[in-house]
Amino acid sequence: MTDDRPVLEVSDLSVSFASEQGWVRVVEEVSFSVERGKILGIVGESGSGKSVSCLAAMGLLDSRASRVDASSRVLLEGTDLTRLSQRQLRDVRGDRIAMIFQEPMTSLNPAFTVGNQVAEGIRAHRGVSARQAKRRAVELLDLVGIPDPASIVHAYPHSLSGGMRQRVMIAMAVACEPAVLIADEPTTALDVTVQAQILDLLRSMRDDLGLAIVFITHDLGVIADVCDDVVVMYAGKIVERSDVDSIFETPQHPYSEGLLAAMPRLGSDKGALGIIPGRVPPPWEFPHGCRFEPRCPYSDEACGGPQVLRQVSVGHESACGRIPDIRLEGIVS
């Protein structure tokens, strides 16, 4: 694609889960988009709805226990995935949009060889012979930097390290050269050095294959490292959206400021790391107004009303109603 229309455009995505209290909305009116060759970071604590948003976009949520509101749109290269049948969705998944997960240890099937699992997606979408699929699997393993791919292709996942397994997952995801890759905390379970290698690999995949990557993480350090744009989510809603540099320099939401303060940094002049007191409330206890208000050091009575995402500067949106009355501290690089 040569036009600069985003390859993935999620708008007004709302997701509800079945619970004892009835349907509970866990993700509300989330919109984001990502262009070819770019990496979009989605950041937030556990329970903020980042993974659910992406699983919903892929149509991977259990349809009996969850539902996506009718107003939601997930446009992938112009096709609305929410309007597709299960069959049509299946053809898109793994072909035009792929996903890798947090736990490389459990995300590969222990009962089948690595090659079998990489080849499976190729065969499903390309209809090639088993032999061709296997040859392609070896190429892919080589592409993601696995040494001696011709022999690893016959290996079972349990004989590989975590980093190697995540490489296999990436090979599997890029097998059909998708337009979009969703990476759900792909480095969280890995050692720091391995983490850096996997980030390198994802960057080179973006460059070589022209992937658009949605990168879910709770680690702002990783965001700073690889992302072009950032969406900050809290309690099922987007609270701030901007390019990566301005969010670090001039955060426009108290929650983002809290996340930045909690980020460990080399050469930090502050002694102790900041922490945000409290935790993300469960979905059935989301406050009516600003959802961050109970934990927010800047809250006042105005925060009890509904908060909408609005532009505060060029390419920078915030859902905090107290902007620009409060000044938030970023990281001066």
Partner 1 sequence: MSSTDKPRAAEPAVDRWAVWQRSDAFEVPAPVSEGVETYRGGAFRQMVQRFMRERAAVAAVCALLLLTAAALAAPLLATHDPNAADFSAPLAGRSADHWLGTDQLGRDTFSRLLFAGRVSLLAAVQALGVALMIGVPLGLLAGYFRGKIDSIISAVADGIMALPALLLAVAIIGATGAGLTNAMIAVGVLFAPRFIRLIRATVISIRENAYIAAAVTAGTPPTRIMLRHVLPNALPPLLVQAAFTTGFAMLAEASLSFLGLGVQAPQASWGSMLNDGYANANRSSFLAIPPGVAIALTVLLFNVFGDGLRAAIGREERR
Partner 2 sequence: MTNASATKQASHDQRGRESRIPDSRPSAAVLWQIGRHLLRSLLVLFLITVFAFGLIWMVPGNPASTLAGEFPSPEEVAAVEAKLGLDDPIPVQYGRWVGNAAQGDLGESLRSGRSVTDEITSRLPVTLSLTLFAVVFGLLIALPLGTVAALRRNSAIDRLLTVGSTVGVATPSFFVGIILVITVALNTSVFPATGYVGPTENVGDWIRHCILPGLSLGLVLGAELTRQIRSALIEVMQSDYIRTARAKGISSQRVIAKHAYKNAAIPIVTILGAQIAALVGGTIVIEQIFAMPGIGGLAISAVRTQDIPVIQGIVLVVGALVLIINTLVDLSYAFLDPRTRQ
- Positions touching partner 1 (CB under 8 A) are 17-21, 24, 26, 44-52, 55, 61-62, 65-66, 101-103, 184-185, 283-284
Residue found by looking up tokens 């209809």 in the block: 127
Nearer to partner 1, 48 or 250 (CB): 48
Q: Which of 19, 106, 268, 311 binds partner 2 (CB under 8 A)?
A: 106
30 binds partner 2 (CB under 8 A): no
Nearest distance in Å: CB 133, partner 1: 28
To partner 2, the closest distance from the beta carbon of 35 in angstroms equals 22
Under rule CB under 8 A, residue 66 binds partner 2: no
Min dist CB 98 to partner 2, Å, is 7
User: Could you tell me the CA-to-CA distances from 28 to 14, 47, 110, 283 in Å, in that order?
Assistant: 4, 13, 36, 11
> Token digits for 2?
């040569």
DSSP 256-299: HHHHHHTS--TT-SSSSPP---S-PPPGGG--SS-TTGGG-TT-
CB of 134 to partner 1, least distance (A): 29
Return the H-helix or E-strand segment holding 203. Answer: helix 192-209
Distances (CA, A) of 181 to 7, 46, 56, 160, 171: 11, 21, 14, 23, 11
Q: Residue 230 — φ and ψ, nearest 5°?
A: -135, 140
164 binds partner 2 (CB under 8 A): yes
Residue type at position 37: G
Binding string, residues 112-131; x marks residues near partner 2 by CB under 8 A: x-------xx--xx------
Q: How far is CA 214 from CA 97, 181, 255, 298, in A?
A: 11, 6, 21, 31
The entry of partner 1, partner 2, none near residue 17 (CB within 5 to 8 angstroms by kind) is partner 1
Contact call for residue 108 and partner 2 (CB under 8 A): yes
Q: Quote the CA–CA distance of 188 and 131 in Å, as a whole number.
A: 35
**Residue 198 Cβ vs partner 2, minimum distance, rounded to whole Å:** 10
Smaller CB distance to partner 1: residue 19 or 268? 19
CB of 284 to partner 2, least distance (A): 21
Q: Give the residue among 291, 290, 289, 257 at the shortest CA–CA distance from 276.
A: 257
Q: How far is the CB of 43 from partner 1 (least distance, A)?
A: 11
Burial of 153 (0-12, 13-18, 19+ CB in 10 A): buried
Pick out residues in 180-199 that bind partner 2 (CB under 8 A). Answer: 194, 197
Nearest approach, Cβ of residue 90 and partner 2 (Å):
5
Q: Which one of residues 5, 79, 80, 154 is an interface residue with partner 2 (CB under 8 A)?
A: 154
- Dihedral of alpha carbons 89, 92, 93, 98, sign: negative
Considering only residues 22, 78, 127, 147, which one is a binding residue for partner 2 as defined by CB under 8 A? Answer: 147
Cα torsion at 147, 198, 7, 231 (round to 10°)?
170
Closest CA to 12 of 75, 88, 64: 75
Nearer to partner 2, 125 or 237 (CB): 125
Q: Which does 134 bind (CB under 5 to 8 A by kind): partner 2, partner 1, none?
A: none
The verdict on 11 binding partner 2 (CB under 8 A) reads no
Does 99 bind partner 2 (CB under 8 A)? Our answer is yes
The smaller minimum CB distance to partner 2, of residues 23 and 112, is found at: 112
Residues that bind partner 2 (CB under 8 A): 58, 60, 86, 90-95, 98-99, 101, 103, 106-112, 120-121, 124-125, 145-148, 151-152, 154-156, 158-161, 163-164, 169, 172-173, 194, 197
